[in-house]
A = this chain, B = another copy of it.
Amino acid sequence: MALPLAGLLVIDLGQIYAGPYCTFLMAMAGADIVKVEPPRTGENLRGRSSHGEPLPFVLLNRNKRAVSLNLKDPRGRDLLIALARRADVLVENFAPGVLDRLGCGWRVLQAANPRLVYGSSTGYGLTGPKRDLLAMDLTVQAMSGVMSVTGFPEHPPVKAGPAFCDFAAGVHLFAGVLAALYERERTGLGRLVEVSMLEATLPTLSSNLAAWHASGGKAPPRTGNHHGSLAEAPYNVYPAADGHIAVICVTDGHWHALCRAMGQPQLAGDPRFADRPARVTNIAVLDETISAWTSAWPRDALIAHLNAHAVPCAPVRDLVEVINDPHLHERGALAWTAHPKLGNIIRLGSAIRFDEAGEPPPTASPAVGEHNREVLGGWLGLSNSEIDALSREGVI
């Protein structure tokens, strides 16, 4: 079977994570991505390495072609509009109004191509009093309340280690663009779709919002590795002799299985731990009891033993273990690959799998403007001498 987005033409003005992750997922689903960047320097993320290809750039921008356009030059702007006439989708994650001020915002592009779907990702959205505040993953983690509920209650607020707000915005935008494309099959018309990083983050706080509600409106505290609203117990990270494990019991059955695994089946009948509310009330002694048992075991033996008893658990792995996980390599979620500048690195696959379709054959992340001739010539019919002149004059 072919990939579902085969033949879809996408202009990608994305930078750093949210926009490029959106178009990465599109590329993995078969779309043809043309990454548009400022001449010479390219997008911001390239600047994190001296040769313009830090690992995150390489991970997120494979299977894309690259064109350089100086959008501050009217000729660059007009080339973008010409490309948009040919495209199905344009994705950007500039601050609100940037492309409008350059004369190539949504209204201009919609007039040029009514079938275009235009996807915008911003920190706080295209409207509202916070619209023009600068926003990145770190500040959205602060603004959204994520930091206030991450970490241990006795320590200061701390961010989630991964840049998950950036990526949440990217995948929400991907979904929004696809919904508009699906609709276009009926209406023949594109749309503006917009995603705010802050709003893409809010639903992830559902458990914490339950704690707000249960407390009669108090700000939920940081709960360390406990559940965000203490809805379940056991739900924690426990010490092993040589590391840590996470254990979660969603049902009484899971708890009974843990009691058997610990060789203490009588705990299942202990009234302090009889049901979920009782276990939550007695969470301190529950955690002590489990820790006393886990701390004597090596981590991996503990996990094997708990898995054999069907107790939901996982080792707390570091990223070297993750990168080398045979499961992820067998599924193609990770693959080793040799990069001319970065050496032996990993390649990421898409988390979205289309049964039997696989992924497109991998191609390397492009250099700035690497496909200027191919795209400006192929899509727009510019001659080599026109392209050379535009390059000399800094337009591309």
Inter-subunit contact B210/A353 (CB<8 Å) = no
Complex: how many Å from CA A163 to CA B211?
Answer: 14
Inter-subunit contact A55/B182 (CB<8 Å) = no
When A5-B183, A163-B228, A199-B333 are in contact, do A319 and B145 touch as well, CB less than 8 Å?
A: yes
**CB proximity of A336 to chain B, nearest CB, Å:** 12
Chain A 304-325: CB-based contact to B (< 8 A → 1; otherwise 0): 0001001111111111111101
Identify which of A71-79, A171-179, A370-378, A382-390 touches chain B: A171-179
Chain B residue with the shortest CB-CB distance to A223: B161
Chain B residue with the shortest CB-CB distance to A180: B4
- At the interface, yes or no: A220 with Cβ under 8 Å from chain B? yes
- At the interface, yes or no: A158 with Cβ under 8 Å from chain B? yes
Inter-subunit contact B175/A125 (CB<8 Å) = no
When A59-B209, A176-B354 are in contact, do A143 and B317 touch as well, CB less than 8 Å?
A: yes
**CB proximity of A192 to chain B, nearest CB, Å:** 4
Q: Per a CB cutoff under 8 Å, which of B124, B151, B213 touches A327?
A: B124
Decide if the interface of chain A is mainly helix, strand, loop or mixed.
mixed
Q: Which of A44, A55, A59, A179 has the most CB of B within 10 A?
A: A179
Chain B residue with the shortest CB-CB distance to A54: B210
**CB proximity of A78 to chain B, nearest CB, Å:** 24
Complex: how many Å from CA A138 to CA B174?
Answer: 26
When A138-B225, A203-B60 are in contact, do A161 and B146 touch as well, CB less than 8 Å?
A: yes
When A158-B225, A171-B171, A248-B138 are in contact, do A212 and B5 touch as well, CB less than 8 Å?
A: no
A-B contact pairs, 18 of them (CB 8 A): A44-B250, A55-B206, A138-B248, A140-B314, A145-B321, A146-B161, A149-B162, A160-B162, A162-B205, A168-B168, A171-B175, A192-B354, A193-B355, A194-B355, A199-B328, A199-B351, A202-B322, A212-B323
